[in-house]
Structure 1
Amino acid sequence: MTSPDAPSATLTFSGLPAEILPDGFSATGWALRIGGIEQSHVDLADPRTVRHEYLRRVANVLDTAAAPGEPLSVLHLGGGALTLVRYVQATRPGSEQTVVEIEPELIDLVTGALPLPEGTRMRALIGDAEEQLALLAEADARFDAIVLDVFNGSDSPPHLARERFYARCLERLTERGILLVNIGDDDGLRFFADQVREVRGAAAQARMAGPWTLTDSVVAGILEEGNLVLALGPGVEAGDLDSRREAWLEAGPHPVAVLDPAQTEVLLRRIPEDDLEADEES
């Protein structure tokens, strides 16, 4: 149920109510709730504040994608409250950003209630991520970072969770580009394991190394429900990998696990593939 005083909309694609409410922590903090569940958080006074842990990990990777303050071209597949768009503008002014959002009402709801920082260069594309990516490919658009944030375990769009789609994302990266994939999963992390296999296949096609994994060390340690971020692409492979790992470890949030492709494979082997196949057949 939505609050009668909150900016709100009923989303066409999902049919769920969306509303923007005070976060209860500060006068400038706001939360986007969809279907009664908090999806995104924004601090209008400080766009560098990223409260959700998985987004903070994504932001940490973007911090190392180029020299501090240097603008990036970023494609966001999934918009939420545009938290990451605000962060990139605050840390890298002048960045060119594109947001693909399947819910027609969401961008207007968010920007109407929570205006973007002055100077933000963002265009919004409404539609399915795969279809919009194909249109961007026709225009030969390329990006320094692509952030895919549409996955939530079994509720994830199947056509976006396949090797073919990941391969198309990798094709849109620049020479310093990074693909970042947020995966929310249940206990056991079977969907995560499936996505690692799909991403690994796409990376092999592109002759790239497999994905790094950034997550809470407890999630990785006991295969607990949570969010895991995959990072791969030429921008991840370039430069001093030890320094990059140390930067991501230091940035947290803690406790943090930063697994290179080989360590991601070790984690993958701890998650039984047969259980996932049984679930898909049932």
Structure 2
Amino acid sequence: MSRTRKPAPVPGRYPVRFGTAELLRDADRANAWLVSVGGVAQSYVDLDDPADLEFDYVRRFGDVVDLLPPGPLDALHIGGAACTLPRYVAFTRPGSRQLVFDADGELVELVRTQLGLKVPGLRVRVTDGREGLATRREDTADLVVVDAFERAALAGGLATLESLRTIAAVLRPGGTYLANITDGAGLPFARRFLATLREVFPQVVLLADPGVLRGRRFGNLVFAASAAPLPTAELASRTASAAFPARCVEGPELEKLAGRAKPITDEDAPPAPKPPEDILGVF
């Protein structure tokens, strides 16, 4: 009996909710693909090797996941695109149960059709992040990851005090929150987001490229937060020895960075930073 092989992904441009998505094959790898939306890179996925985390900020996510207590995870992801991190979690922690919320139904269907979403333990639901969060029960997740962008800007309402309090309630005691944001000169949004995190979580760590951290260029900043101690020493060692080293910032240095910044609230939310026009960013 012959088996029908799944057709290979088709490179090209596809209309999606938040613009035009482009699917590009990596010329150096047989089955690795880049997904961009509106000219901004969103996901890189190697279908033959889910452990390959090409984007630096996703590798930082992976570092934190690797250092969590062993065993499968119950994970909630707000923002999915090609589901690079859920694929990684499923591969490195068999038996994990994962739910992805993504507001772009057309992009989800594109990924499902072209790259496949038959990942063990993974469900994907098309919904706005805040609306999806409102459906989750308390103490049901070991990990919550926020990596949701619309037209290169962080999806609205996901950086506020109200949103973070909901996420903290969804997390189990000792659970971990991860977020990817972007910022540029002076880090005004990152400082306010940090102040917001510190209102909700007693433990916060920032992982970022030194140039981005100094405000010298626009880029990604990864935050990890928890009610329990975070593996900061191990994270610092990993990030310092990475192919593209990042800094691990905690404690007094993080407090200094936050300064007098005010938490972001639903009533007082600054516009999310947008990358300069001349940058094809990984956001």
CA root-mean-square deviation: 2.6
Q: Which residue of 2 aligns with 1:21?
A: 24
1:268 corresponds to which residue?
258
1:9 aligns with 2:4: no
**Would you say 1:229 and 2:222 are equivalent positions?**
yes
Alignment of 1:213-224 (within 5 A): 213-224=206-217
Distance 1:246 1:258 in 2: 5
Structure 1 residue 249 corresponds to structure 2 residue 239: yes
Counterpart in the other structure of 1:109: 110
Offset at 1:91?
0.6
Mean Cα deviation higher: 36-45 or 217-226: 217-226
Which segment drifts farther, 50-59 or 150-159?
Answer: 150-159
Cα displacement string for residues 39-90 of structure 1 (whole angstroms, at most 9, x for unaligned residues): 11011111100111111101100001122xx111111100011100111111
1:258 aligns with 2:231: no
Within 5 Å, give how 1:47-66 maps onto structure 2: 47-66=50-69
Q: Which amino acid aligns with 1:11?
A: V
Are the equivalent residues in 2 in contact too, given 1:75–1:145 (CA < 8 A)? yes
Q: In structure 2, what residue type is equivalent to 1:132?
A: G
1:191 to 189, 192, 212: 189
Tell me which amino acid in the other structure corresponds to 1:26: R
Letter of the structure 1 residue corresponding to residue 49 of structure 2: D
Matches of 2:149 and 2:222, distance apart in 1: 11
- Residue 242 of structure 1 and its aligned partner are, at CA, apart by 5.4
Q: Distance in 2 between matches of 1:251 and 1:265?
A: 25
User: In 2 relative to 1, CA 48–267 (structure 1 residues): closer, same or farther, beyond 3 Å?
Assistant: same
1:157 equivalent in alignment to 2:155: yes
- Aligned residues of 2:205 and 2:249 also touching (Cα < 8 A): yes
Describe the SS at the equivalent of 1:244. helix
Does the CA contact (< 8 Å) of 1:61 and 1:248 recur in 2?
Answer: no
Aligned length: 256
Distance 2:173 2:255 in 1: 25
1:82-119 Cα deviation digits (max 9, x unpaired)? 100111111111110000000111222112211246x5
* Higher relative contact order, structure no. (Cα contacts within 8 Å, ≥ 6 residues apart): 2
Distance 1:55 1:86 in 2: 12
Structure 1 8/95 Cα, relative in aligned 2: closer, same or farther at 3 Å?
Answer: farther
Q: 1:212 and 2:205 equivalent?
A: yes
Could you say which residue in structure 2 is the equivalent of 1:132? 132
Give the drift of 1:151.
Answer: 4.9
**SS of the residue aligned with 2:134?**
helix
One-letter amino acid of the counterpart of residue 10, structure 1: P
Question: Runs of 5+ in structure 1 lacking a partner?
Answer: none
Per-residue CA shift, 1:196-234, capped at 9, x if unaligned?
A: 11212222xxxx23x210111222234431111111113
Aligned ranges 1:37-76 → 2 under 5 Å: 37-67=40-70, 70-76=71-77
Q: 1:28 & 1:189 partners in 2: Cα distance?
A: 37
The structure in which a higher percent of residues are helix is 1
Give the whole-Å Cα distance in 2 for the aligned partners of 1:91 and 1:221: 33
Q: 1:177 aligns with which of 150, 175, 183?
A: 175
Give the whole-Å Cα distance in 2 for the aligned partners of 1:83 and 1:251.
22
Distance in 1 of aligned mates of 2:160 and 2:243: 29
User: Secondary structure, in 3 states, of the residue corresponding to 1:228?
Assistant: strand
Q: Give 2:140's aligned amino acid.
A: R
| Corresponding residue for residue 120 of structure 2 | 120
Q: Which amino acid aligns with 2:84?
A: T
Q: TM-score, normalised by structure 1?
A: 0.82
Share of identical aligned residues, percent? Answer: 30
Query: 2:30 is paired with a residue of what secondary structure?
Result: coil
Deviation at 1:157, TM superposition (A): 3.4
Taking structure 2 as the reference length, the TM-score comes to 0.81
Instruction: Tell me whether 146-155 or 71-80 shows the greater mean CA deviation.
Output: 146-155
